[in-house]
Structure 1
Amino acid sequence: MASSRKWARFISSIASFTYFSLVIFQVPLFRVPCRTGTCKSPLQVTSSQLIASEFFPEPVVKALLYPGAVAASVLKKKALPSYNDLLKSYDSIHVKEVRAAMDLKRIEVLAGSYFMVAGALMSLIKPVRMSFFGALLVTWGLYSEVFPRKAAYIYSDKAIRIYPMMILAIVSAFSSMRKDLRKIIHICKKCRSKAKLV
């Protein structure tokens, strides 16, 4: 039992860090139209909504966006972005003028993105089921949007897409749930010991 706890703690900590990195560094997980044009990560969807609603002050939103902006500039070998002009690079200046109907049309993606970002931040303290639930909600929202469409829409420039990294986000969100992971490891050990007896 003790070894299953150790394994669960080890796997959960790696999965939590992976999930946190995917969300905070804004690794492209999907592609969806949003208030800023096209959003490719849950943090971009969430930040555009937070700026438009003025629920959080802009410095808080900038602090959330900055690690991803730095990571993108390092990968593209560009100069580090200015903290003051950060919202310009994300086209978030005129986000308040865009109609809210765009977000309400994809409410599952918006709500799931909120859950994913909150789950990633909370995973620094303790992994929560919110991350997994948010990832599933976003996937369901995007899938229900793409599936009924014709192939011509799917392959257009404004297409809604789910990138392969979304699978890693779902797996890491699930693997970060320590109690559930411990139960799975314990069940697997019981099955293996029964198989050895047979």
Structure 2
Amino acid sequence: MASSKKWATTISSIASFIYFLLILLQIPLFRVPCRAGICTTPLELTSSQLIATKLIPEAAVKTLLYPGAVANAFFNNNALPNYYNFLKSYRFASLNSAPVTFDDLQQIEVLAGSYLSVAGAFVCLVKPGRISLFGTLLIIWGLAREVIMGNSVDSNPGKAVYISPAMSFVLVFAFLCVRKDVRKIFRSCRGRPALKAKLG
């Protein structure tokens, strides 16, 4: 029992850290219309809303976005972005006091899921839980609903709603963040050999 608990804690902690990096470094997970034009990560979608509604200071949003901007520059062999003006590349300049649009309400699941995913990424570093999993599932549900209902049809393929294959990895890590679920997997795996021995 102690061994399974220890393994579950270790796996959950590692999964939480990987999930945190995937969110913070802004690995593209989807493509959806947003206030900034097109958003491809939960943090980008969340930040566009936070800047437009002024819920938190812009400096805090810049601090959240900067690691992803640095990672993006590194992977594309570009110069490191300047902290003071890198937000221009996110097209957030014209978002101040932007009103709520029909698209915002239409994609409420994706927006809510992005908020939960970002919050869960930070919370899971302290105490792994289900917030990340709920956020990821909400995003997938919202994007799938857009595709199924045909709301994602666009004359420009680059603007159509899209779910990246990387989302499946994020979903796995979000699931593994939940320590109780990992322990249930260990218990079920341990129970199978005993069941086979009884049946044999």
TM-score range, shorter chain: over 0.9
Question: Given the alignment of the two structures, is residue 32 of structure 1 paired with residue 32 of structure 2, yes or no?
Answer: yes
Q: Which amino acid aligns with 1:161?
A: Y
In 1, distance between residues paired with 2:48 and 2:54? 10
- The alignment's TM-score, normalised by the length of structure 1, stands at 0.94
Question: Given the alignment of the two structures, is residue 90 of structure 1 paired with residue 90 of structure 2, yes or no?
Answer: yes
- The alignment's TM-score, normalised by the length of structure 2, stands at 0.93
Shift of 1:195: 1.4
Shift of 1:149: 1.9
In 2, distance between residues paired with 1:150 and 1:109? 14
Q: Which amino acid aligns with 1:94?
A: S
* 8 Å CA contact 2:54, 2:97 repeated in 1: no
SS in 2 for 1:38: strand
In 2, distance between residues paired with 1:167 and 1:91? 28
For 1:149-196, what per-residue CA distance to the aligned partner results, in whole angstroms no more than 9, with x for missing partners?
299649822110000010111110001101221122112211222213
Shift of 1:86: 2.1
Q: Which runs of 5+ in 2 are unaligned?
A: none
State the partner residue of 2:169: 168
| Aligned CA-pair RMSD | 1.7
Residue correspondence of structure 1 range 80-159 to structure 2 within 5 A: 80-96=80-96, 98-101=98-101, 102-149=103-150, 153=154, 156-159=157-160
Question: Given the alignment of the two structures, is residue 186 of structure 1 paired with residue 187 of structure 2, yes or no?
Answer: yes
| CA 1:151–1:88: 2 relative to 1, 3 Å | closer
* 8 Å CA contact 1:154, 1:160 repeated in 2: no
State the partner residue of 2:51: 51
Residue correspondence of structure 1 range 54-73 to structure 2 within 5 A: 54-73=54-73
Q: Which runs of 5+ in 1 are unaligned?
A: none
* 8 Å CA contact 2:8, 2:182 repeated in 1: yes
| CA 1:152–1:114: 2 relative to 1, 3 Å | closer
In 2, distance between residues paired with 1:196 and 1:151? 52
| CA 1:64–1:150: 2 relative to 1, 3 Å | closer
In 2, distance between residues paired with 1:76 and 1:117? 24
Shift of 1:131: 0.3
* 8 Å CA contact 2:35, 2:95 repeated in 1: yes
| CA 1:155–1:18: 2 relative to 1, 3 Å | farther
State the partner residue of 2:75: 75
| CA 1:127–1:93: 2 relative to 1, 3 Å | same
| CA 1:120–1:134: 2 relative to 1, 3 Å | same
Higher mean Cα deviation, 68-77 or 87-96?
Answer: 87-96
In 1, distance between residues paired with 2:32 and 2:176? 26
Higher mean Cα deviation, 110-119 or 145-154?
Answer: 145-154
Q: Which amino acid aligns with 2:85?
A: D
